Structure 1
Amino acid sequence: MVSDVWAAADAYEEYVGRWSRRVAERFVAWLAVPAGRVWLDVGCGTGALSDAVREADGTVVGLDPSRGFVAGGRAVVVGDARALPFPAARFDAVVSGLALNFVPDPARAAAEMARVTAPGGMVAAYVWDYADGMAMMRLFWDVARELDPDAPDEGDRFPICRPDALADLWRATGLTGGLAVEPVEIRTDFADFDDYWRPFLGGQGAAPAYLASLPAPARTAVRDGLRARLPDGEIYLTARAWAVRGRRGGGHAPATPVRSDERADR
Structure 2
Amino acid sequence: MSLAEIPLCVWRTRSLSFTFRGQTIRYWTAGQGEPLLLIHGFPTASWDWHYLWTPLAQRYRVIACDMLGFGDSAKPVHHLYSLIEQADLQQALLEHLKVDQPVHLLAHDYGDSVSQELLARHHEGQANIASCVFLNGGLFPECHRALLIQKLLLSRLGWLVARSFGRDDLVRHVTQIYGPCTHPSESALDDYWSLVASNRGTRILHKLACYVPERALHRERWVAALQKEGVRLRFINGAVDPVSGAHMHERYRELVPNPDTVLLPGIGHYPHTEAPVQVLRHYLAFRQQALEPVAQKVAWS
Q: Shorter-chain TM-score category? A: 0.3 to 0.5
Which has the greater radius of gyration?
Answer: 1
- TM normalised by structure 1 equals 0.36
- TM normalised by structure 2 equals 0.33
Q: Which has the higher relative contact order, 1 or 2, with Cα contacts under 8 A spaced 6 or more apart? A: 1
Task: Point out the structure with the larger strand share.
Answer: 1
